[in-house]
Amino acid sequence: KPSMTPRHFLVDTDLTQQEQAEVLELALALKADRWAHRPYAGPQTVAVIFDKTSTRTRASFSAGIADLGGNPLMINPGESQLGKESVADTARVFSRMVSTIVWRTYAQSGLEEMAAASDVPVVNGLSDAYHPCQILADLLTVREHRGDPAGLTFAYLGDAANNMAHSYLLGGATAGMHVRVAGPQGYLPDPAVVRAAEERAARTGGSVRVTTDPAEALTGADVVCTDTWVSMGQEAETEARARIFRPYCVDAAAMARAEPGALFLHCLPAFRGSEVAAEVIDGPQSVVWDEAENRLHAQKALLVWLMARSGRYDLDAAR
């Protein structure tokens, strides 16, 4: 049985500002030299469990784990005993066999249960509450196009109560950004998340603003982003949501309120004509394909860093 104290990544604030910057630096190095680090060479296996569908998370973890010398064990809904067997028992078994556990699921409490019983790092591959891997990729993209994200103004429009909004608040504040989130009444972020983001921002020089007014969020924004109005599990609400979120569509008029040349981000999958106009996502300010590619580099860096900080890989000796 491996003896280690694992570091987990369940929510954006699991990394300090300094640690987040280390992961992003490592991501840039790995992007420049795709085969630089091989913490799973042997190979060791990484379990990637999906309770929901995925294109980017699946492809980026699968390719990234292979790049790092490892063997990705992709588990789709209904393919394991998880759901019948307890999360804790699953964690105990996987801890004896795999090097890291990545899990896309519904409740955040499941990830916490998994981490509590796991001897290996546990990574949130998206939950109802947060999508922290996506924010690392987004910050990497901002860094590449605009330099250090600290001090930049970041506007998110749309479903401000979803996983992306919550992770932008926490991960953006960790990076020292001025994070502004706009959504309709009833679809605003969890107040506990806003408080946590404010606490983080107070230490990093960032700030947090929540509003129902899209113009207030957009004015002065260096980066504009949105997400689907219907997250996985909310499909029954599709029609109602299309009406409620209409004023928060990111179209050319919305982009015109932001700084000239502001970047446009979208975690994808995107629905043109709903949360974003084709003229924006397919236009010159959009960096969504870089953002999608950066899932690969950011997550490879995260996996390497977690192994190093869990005492299972010597980052310095490896170069």
Known binding-site positions:
54-57, 81, 104, 131-134, 163, 227, 231-232, 267-268, 295
Q: Which of residues 105-134 bind ligand NVA (CB under 6 A)?
A: 126
Task: Tell me the C-alpha distance between 185 and 244, whole Å.
Answer: 9
Q: State which of residues 13, 20, 44, 54 lies at the interface with ligand CP (CB under 6 A).
A: 54
CA angle 304, 144, 231 (to 5 degrees): 75
- Based on the shown chain and the rule CB under 6 A, indicate whether residue 126 belongs to the binding site for ligand CP: yes
Helix, coil or strand: residue 223: strand
55 binds, among ligand NVA, ligand CP, none (CB under 5 to 8 A by kind): ligand CP
Write down the catalytic residue from 166, 295, 309, 312.
295
Site for ligand NVA in 178-237 (CB under 6 A): 227-228, 231-232
Q: Identify the three-state secondary structure at position 263.
A: strand
Is there binding between residue 134 and ligand CP (CB under 6 A)? yes
Site string for ligand CP, 183-212 (x = CB under 6 A): ------------------------------
Give the residue at shortest CB distance from ligand NVA.
231
| Residues 6 or more apart whose Cβ sits within 8 Å of residue 123 | 8, 9, 10, 100, 101, 102, 103, 133, 299, 302, 303, 306
Could you tell me which residues are annotated as the binding site for carbamoyl phosphate? 54-57, 81, 104, 131-134, 267-268, 295
Q: Give SS3 for 266.
A: strand
* Nearer to ligand CP among residue 10 and residue 126 (C-beta): 126
> Count residues contacting ligand NVA (CB under 6 A)?
9
Give whole-number Cα distances, 4 to 120, 122, 136, 310, 315, in Å: 8, 13, 25, 6, 16
- φ and ψ at 148, to 5 degrees? -45, 125
Give the closest residue to 70 by CA, choosing from 83, 59, 61, 79. Answer: 61
> Binders of ligand NVA among 156-175, rule CB under 6 A?
162-164
Strands across the sheet with 178-182, in order?
Answer: 207-211, 178-182, 153-157, 223-226, 263-266
The residue within the footprint of ligand CP, chosen from 68, 111, 221, 267 (CB under 6 A), is 267
Indicate the residue among 100 and 127 with the shorter CB distance to ligand CP: 127
User: Across the strands, what pairs with 82?
Assistant: 85
Q: Is 274 in the site for ligand NVA (CB under 6 A)?
A: no
Which residues are identified as catalytic? Answer: 104, 131, 134, 227, 267, 295
Question: Where on the chain is the footprint of ligand NVA (CB under 6 A)?
Answer: 126, 162-164, 227-228, 231-232, 267
Question: Where on the chain is the footprint of ligand CP (CB under 6 A)?
Answer: 54-57, 126, 134, 267-268
